[in-house]
């Protein structure tokens, strides 16, 4: 059973977790504020209760006069249910107001930031006397760093403790919250922090499916509703844990987010149970007449149509199977998966291209999804190729052969129709000269672009970067252009795949470094999007307080740094075949690993510029793969040691690669001449 495999893995790694100091997950579910951010009115002792685990009346006290407030800073983005310990009140009609914000831009005693289209209202706790008062579970807050506590009464109130019960990763025991099964470390501290912030973003967005959908704000039965109220109380999936798009909002299963988020979870926590529950919640809504998959999960309308998100569900399913080898799940799913493939391939016309009609315009927030669109066709090419592998697994040779032929013809047609040699980029569609970030990046990632096209795309996308990241020119709205970490995650992979690992690192440092370090951000999780001028304005939105500061589609570099910088990639389900192919760029050291059910996969590499390099790799016994190193640009001698013996080979400026069985390998290279 998958859940048993996952918990066995947790037990394997809990005792000794590499680089635990970078992990942002708490080691306890009871969280206390870390500092006082601001006060209003008359307050006494605001800082005295910060580290107070003692809630008795003899403990330090926070005294709030009428209409005064304290804003506490938890030091990072968190999620959970707030409790306050009241030690004294002067009026039985006393109540306390609570407001929340992920960003310091929306800290206020009068409102929270937004889960919808208006600022969220103050949440109240009636506190008629001494005792502990806790918000109900449907009033948990999915993402916040700042908590403002306001005395809404007419008399003084004293508090001895403020705490939050951390509700993310609900399937994990308290002593396993930091039990990551993967790790990454290099000689660049910014990249290390980015890797772990991406992992933590996913952690925060892993929720109990009974408490989802903050977007619709439907109150529990019998409770009143006022515009601006928020609720997390709709069931969005089966099971006890599910991965959603954002921590604060929408707390829904969105297929596009899964495409980015699944690799992040795989290389960090290996929480595949939450992925499976998310995918199942999408397939259960498949149109039984057409095979079309939903734009978004329960409970939003299944009639909402998006062909790109239809394909993201298919691609995410392939990723889940590759990472788990859950063959029973795949066999049970296959009729539904095949039906979904029949739907999307039926939209290919006589040009051999997918034509997106006017009813399927919905996408991630870009403009002009429609026609012979490069993003949609590149995504289809990616899906066709992974589906060929799935068909082979279930021995459906007819489908696999058909999809392989479609992919071959699609690749030719895309280049003939959409490649713009003058720009060195693919056009958005046959009637536009716009060259989008998403479609060009996916064309490289999927292998649809030729090697020469891929190199040009990498160069020309990089030429567009601004001071805050890579623009998604396909999402220019109201005079502002979007920086999309979703499309940007695809661009990061495109630079790696095209043979430009240094550009990938440069983009990660530029864009995700800004997202991590800007003082308006959470310094712990990654924002949904912003504008190219650095303003925290997401152009697809008309109301900016709703921007999510913990969004799974923004976590791409976590997977990419493991897969491409460390070069640790599994090529078949569970890692029975693999490749270790580090591309360090300007780094001089990398250490990464994955602990899986077959055993550990690890890579350590150190480079002394102009002199020598060394690499140690471990893969499980019974597996096989390739150890590969990039072209060294000089003559070199490579020595290999393992339990299978030793060898020494000359290398003349080309890529060095050796096929080998699983086990321990020690490689050393000496530069002979330049």
Domains identified in the chain, total number: 3
Q: Are both 255 and 335 inside the same structural domain?
A: yes
* pLDDT score at 437: 99
- Tell whether 17 is covered by a domain: no
Question: Does residue 620 have a pLDDT over 50?
Answer: yes
Q: What is the CATH number of the domain that holds 633?
A: 2.60.420.10
* pLDDT score at 650: 57
CA distance linking residue 269 with residue 261, whole number of Å: 12
Structural domain ending residue among the three candidates 133, 166, 199: 166
Q: Are both 413 and 557 inside the same structural domain?
A: yes
Q: Name the residue range of residue 197's domain.
A: 174-562
Structural domain ending residue among the three candidates 114, 144, 166: 166
* pLDDT score at 633: 59
DSSP, collapsed to helix, strand or coil, labels residue 445 as: helix
- Other CB atoms within a 10 A radius of the CB of residue 29 amount to 18
Q: Which stretches of 235-309 are assigned E, i.e. beta strand?
A: 242-243
Q: Are both 430 and 501 inside the same structural domain?
A: yes
Question: Does residue 476 have a pLDDT over 50?
Answer: yes
- pLDDT tens digits along 423-433: 999 999 999 99
Question: Does residue 287 have a pLDDT over 90?
Answer: yes
Length of the chain: 674
Give me the mean pLDDT over the 317-339 stretch.
99
| 530-531 and 568-570 beta bridge pairing | unpaired
At residue 7 the predicted structure's pLDDT band, cuts being 50, 70 and 90, is: very low
Sheet with 472-477: strands ordered across = 472-477, 480-483, 530-531
- pLDDT tens digits along 534-547: 999 999 999 999 99
Residue 202 CA: distances (Å) to CA of 16, 80, 124, 198, 352? 22, 15, 29, 7, 38
Structural domain ending residue among the three candidates 499, 533, 562: 562
% of the chain surpassing 70 pLDDT = 93
Residue 319 CA: distances (Å) to CA of 268, 304, 316, 451, 559? 15, 24, 5, 24, 12
Q: Are both 151 and 247 inside the same structural domain?
A: no
DSSP, collapsed to helix, strand or coil, labels residue 281 as: helix
Question: Does residue 591 have a pLDDT over 90?
Answer: yes
- Other CB atoms within a 10 A radius of the CB of residue 673 amount to 8
Q: What is the CATH number of the domain that holds 314?
A: 1.50.10.10
- Tell whether 7 is covered by a domain: no
- Tell whether 80 is covered by a domain: yes
- pLDDT tens digits along 145-177: 999 999 998 999 999 999 999 999 999 999 999
Q: Are both 247 and 294 inside the same structural domain?
A: yes
Question: Does residue 508 have a pLDDT over 90?
Answer: yes
Q: Are both 530 and 607 inside the same structural domain?
A: no
Question: Does residue 454 have a pLDDT over 70?
Answer: yes
Q: Which stretches of 90-207 are assigned E, i.e. beta strand?
A: 95-101, 123-126, 131-134, 141-151, 157-166, 182-186, 206-207
Q: Are both 428 and 545 inside the same structural domain?
A: yes
* pLDDT score at 463: 99
CA distance linking residue 174 with residue 179, whole number of Å: 10
- pLDDT tens digits along 113-126: 999 999 999 999 99
* pLDDT score at 667: 87
DSSP, collapsed to helix, strand or coil, labels residue 367 as: coil
At residue 610 the predicted structure's pLDDT band, cuts being 50, 70 and 90, is: low
* pLDDT score at 640: 74
Q: Look up tokens 């700042």; give the residue.
A: 146
- Tell whether 14 is covered by a domain: no
pLDDT, the chain, mean:
94
Q: Over the range 320-343, which residues count as b (16 or more CB within 10 Å of their CB) and which as e?
A: bbbbbbbeebbeebbebbbbbbeb
- pLDDT tens digits along 68-105: 999 999 999 999 999 999 999 988 999 999 999 999 99
* pLDDT score at 3: 47
Secondary structure of 25-64 as H, E, C letters: CCCCCEECCCEEEEEECCEECHHHHCCCCCCCCCCCCEEE
- Tell whether 49 is covered by a domain: yes
- pLDDT tens digits along 194-234: 999 999 999 999 999 999 998 776 788 888 888 899 999 99
Residue 309 CA: distances (Å) to CA of 146, 214, 303, 487, 551? 33, 21, 13, 14, 17
Q: Which residues pair with 530 in a beta bridge?
A: 483
Q: Are both 358 and 281 inside the same structural domain?
A: yes
Q: Cis omega (within 30 of 0) on the bond before 278?
A: no
Q: Cis omega (within 30 of 0) on the bond before 299?
A: yes
Residue 559 CA: distances (Å) to CA of 533, 562, 586? 27, 5, 19
- Tell whether 25 is covered by a domain: no
- Tell whether 2 is covered by a domain: no
CA distance linking residue 79 with residue 31, whole number of Å: 10
Q: Using CB atoms within 10 A of its CB, is residue 505 exposed (0-12), middle (13-18) or buried (19+)?
A: buried
Question: Tokens standing for 656?
Answer: 């060095």
Residue with more model confidence, 37 or 368 = 37
Tell me the torsion sign for CA atoms 259, 261, 267, 269: negative
Q: Using CB atoms within 10 A of its CB, is residue 80 exposed (0-12), middle (13-18) or buried (19+)?
A: buried
Q: Are both 514 and 590 inside the same structural domain?
A: no
Q: Are both 576 and 500 inside the same structural domain?
A: no
CA distance linking residue 408 with residue 404, whole number of Å: 6
Q: Are both 388 and 403 inside the same structural domain?
A: yes
- pLDDT tens digits along 251-273: 999 999 999 999 999 999 999 99
**Contact (CB, 8 A) for 463 and 500:** no
CA distance linking residue 512 with residue 560, whole number of Å: 13
CA distance linking residue 244 with residue 238, whole number of Å: 13
CA distance linking residue 437 with residue 470, whole number of Å: 8
Q: Are both 357 and 420 inside the same structural domain?
A: yes
- Tell whether 375 is covered by a domain: yes
- pLDDT tens digits along 628-669: 987 665 666 677 776 666 666 656 556 778 899 999 999 887
**Contact (CB, 8 A) for 135 and 125:** yes
Query: Which of 44-53, 507-516, 557-566 is predicted with the least confidence, judged by mean pLDDT?
Result: 44-53
């Amino acid at each position: 059973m998958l859940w048993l495999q996952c918990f066995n893995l947790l037990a394997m790694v809990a005792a000794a977790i590499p680089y635990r100091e970078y992990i942002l997950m708490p080691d306890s579910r009871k969280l206390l504020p870390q500092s006082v951010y601001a006060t209003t009115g008359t307050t006494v002792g605001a800082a005295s209760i910060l580290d107070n685990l003692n809630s008795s009346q003899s403990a330090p006290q926070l005294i709030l006069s009428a209409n005064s407030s304290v804003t506490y800073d938890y030091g990072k983005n968190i999620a959970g249910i707030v409790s306050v310990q009241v030690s004294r009140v002067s009026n039985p009609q006393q109540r306390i107001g609570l407001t929340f914000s992920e960003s310091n831009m929306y800290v206020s005693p009068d409102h929270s930031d937004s889960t919808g289209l208006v600022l969220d209202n103050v949440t109240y706790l009636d506190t008629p006397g001494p005792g502990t008062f806790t918000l109900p579970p449907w009033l948990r807050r999915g993402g916040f760093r700042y908590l403002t506590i306001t005395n809404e009464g007419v008399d003084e109130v004293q508090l001895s403790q403020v705490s939050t019960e951390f509700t993310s990763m609900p399937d994990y025991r308290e002593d396993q919250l930091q039990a990551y099964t993967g790790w990454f470390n290099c000689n660049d501290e910014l990249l290390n922090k980015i890797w772990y912030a991406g992992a933590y973003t996913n952690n925060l967005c892993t929720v109990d499916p009974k408490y989802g959908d903050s977007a619709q704000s439907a109150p529990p039965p019998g409770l009143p509703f006022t515009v601006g109220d928020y609720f997390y109380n709709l069931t969005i999936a089966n099971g006890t844990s599910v991965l959603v798009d954002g921590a604060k909002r929408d707390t829904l299963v969105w297929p596009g987010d899964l495409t980015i988020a699944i690799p992040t979870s795989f290389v960090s926590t290996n929480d595949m149970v939450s992925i499976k529950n998310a995918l199942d919640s999408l397939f259960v809504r498949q149109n039984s007449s057409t095979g079309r998959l939903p734009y978004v999960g329960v409970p939003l309308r299944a009639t909402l149509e998006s062909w790109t998100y239809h394909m993201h569900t298919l691609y995410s399913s392939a990723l889940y199977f590759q990472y788990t080898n859950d063959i029973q799940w795949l066999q049970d799913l296959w009729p539904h998966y095949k039906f979904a493939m029949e739907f999307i391939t039926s939209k290919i016309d006589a040009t051999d291209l997918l034509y997106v009609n006017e009813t399927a315009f919905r996408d991630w927030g870009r403009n002009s999804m429609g026609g012979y669109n490069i993003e949609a066709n590149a995504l289809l090419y990616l899906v066709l190729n992974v589906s060929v592998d799935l068909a082979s697994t279930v021995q459906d040779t007819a489908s696999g052969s058909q999809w392989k032929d479609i992919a071959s013809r699609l690749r030719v047609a895309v280049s003939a129709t959409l490649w713009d040699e003058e720009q060195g980029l693919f056009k958005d569609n046959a009637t536009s000269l716009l060259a989008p970030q998403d479609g060009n990046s996916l064309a490289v990632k999927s292998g649809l672009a030729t090697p020469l096209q891929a190199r040009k795309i990498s160069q020309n996308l990089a030429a567009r970067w601004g001071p805050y990241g890579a623009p998604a020119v396909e999402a220019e709205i109201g005079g502002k252009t979007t920086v999309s970490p979703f499309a940007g995650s695809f661009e990061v992979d495109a630079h790696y795949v095209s043979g430009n690992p240094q550009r990938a690192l440069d983009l990660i440092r530029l864009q995700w470094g800004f997202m991590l370090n800007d003082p308006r951000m959470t310094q712990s999780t990654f924002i949904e999007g912003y504008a190219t001028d650095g303003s925290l304005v997401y152009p697809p939105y008309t109301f900016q307080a709703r921007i999510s500061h913990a969004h799974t589609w923004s976590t791409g570099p976590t997977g990419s740094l493991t897969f491409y910088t460390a070069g640790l990639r599994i090529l078949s389900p569970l890692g029975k075949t693999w490749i270790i192919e580090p591309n360090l760029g300007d780094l001089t050291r990398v250490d990464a690993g994955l602990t899986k059910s077959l055993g550990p996969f690890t890579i350590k590499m150190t480079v002394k510029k102009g002199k020598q390099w060394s690499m140690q790799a471990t893969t499980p016994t019974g597996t096989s793969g390739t150890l590969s190193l990039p072209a060294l640009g000089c003559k070199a001698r490579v020595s290999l040691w393992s339990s299978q013996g030793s060898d020494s080979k000359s290398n003349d400026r080309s890529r060095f690669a050796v096929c080998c069985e699983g086990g321990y390998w020690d490689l050393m290279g000496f530069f002979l001449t330049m």
